């Protein structure tokens, strides 16, 4: 059994655990916790790697909770600040920005949240809120593998800019 305290979701010196909604039993869930983005690459069908698809040093976090909730956000580290001091996305100041600045901010940041389900080395993110509205209600499938304190999440082959790519994001446990 991975959790020896029966309540907190983490045993003393053990792997993180989660109580599944269906059974209420503790299961080993190494994805639990918060992870910091280390790298993001694209792999083309011929094996060619496009490095730094989200910039040289992307920034971001992904979190998986014991109650099967998840959230992720990441951005390019070289994002250009707005030309005016915007205090809130809900204020009128943001509406004064040029469309090009708004587009640059949107295309350099990604976020979504919802529930997740693990099956073997696959995690399915069921999207409830997202920076890309078309993702609402969809499922994003990722395979995952661990290497020490890092987890690699890979997308299925995805059409991007007219080319099929597999996106690979490496995260380090916080």
DSSP 100-147: HHHHHHHHTEEEEEEEEEEETTEEEEEEEEESSGGGTT-EEEEEEEEE
Least confident of 2-11, 47-56, 113-122, 123-132: 2-11
Q: Cβ(68)–Cβ(116) under 8 Å?
A: yes
Taking residues 34-41, what's their average pLDDT?
98
The pLDDT value given to residue 7 = 38
- What's residue 6's pLDDT? 38
pTM of the complete model: 0.84
The CA-CA-CA angle for residues 131, 127, 97, to 5°, reads 5
Residue 27: pLDDT band (50, 70, 90) is low
Closest CA to 171 of 151, 156, 155: 151
Query: What is the C-alpha to C-alpha distance for residues 125 and 142, in angstroms, rounded to an integer?
Result: 8
* Helix ranges (DSSP H) in the chain: 99-107
Query: How much of the chain, in percent, has pLDDT values that exceed 90?
Result: 83
Mean pLDDT of 25-47: 91
Q: Which of 64, 156, 46 is nearest to 114 (CA)?
A: 64
pLDDT interval class at 13 (50, 70, 90)? very low
Q: Render pLDDT for 60-111 as a digit per residue (tens, 0 to 9).
A: 999 999 999 999 999 999 999 999 999 999 999 999 999 999 999 999 999 9
Q: Is 148 helix (H, G, I), strand (E, B) or coil?
A: coil
What number of other Cβ atoms are within 10 A of residue 31's Cβ?
22
- Six-digit token pair at 99? 């469309």
Q: Measured between alpha carbons, how far is 22 from 39 in angstroms, rounded to an integer?
A: 34
- Is pLDDT larger for residue 3 or for residue 27? 27
Top pLDDT among 134 and 17 is at 134
- Contact status, residue 139 vs residue 133, Cβ threshold 8 Å: no
- pLDDT 10s digits, 103-160: 999 999 999 999 999 999 999 999 999 999 999 999 999 999 999 999 999 999 999 9
Least confident residue range of 13-27, 32-46, 103-117: 13-27
């Amino acid at each position: 059994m991975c959790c020896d305290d029966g309540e907190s979701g983490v045993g003393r010196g053990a792997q993180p655990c989660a109580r599944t909604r269906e059974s209420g039993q503790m299961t080993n869930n190494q994805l639990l916790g918060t992870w910091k983005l280390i790298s993001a690459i694209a792999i083309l069908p011929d094996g060619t790697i496009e490095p730094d698809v989200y910039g040289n040093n992307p920034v971001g976090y992904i979190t998986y909770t014991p109650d099967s909730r998840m959230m992720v956000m990441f951005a390019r580290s070289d994002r250009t600040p707005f030309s005016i001091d915007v205090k809130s996305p809900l204020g009128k100041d943001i509406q004064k920005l040029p469309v090009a600045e708004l587009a640059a901010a949107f295309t350099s940041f990604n976020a979504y949240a919802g529930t997740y389900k693990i099956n073997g080395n696959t995690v399915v993110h069921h999207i409830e809120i997202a920076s890309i509205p078309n993702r609402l209600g969809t499922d994003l499938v990722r395979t995952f593998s661990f290497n020490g304190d890092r987890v690699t999440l890979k997308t299925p082959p995805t059409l991007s800019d007219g080319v099929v790519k597999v996106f690979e994001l490496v995260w380090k446990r916080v």
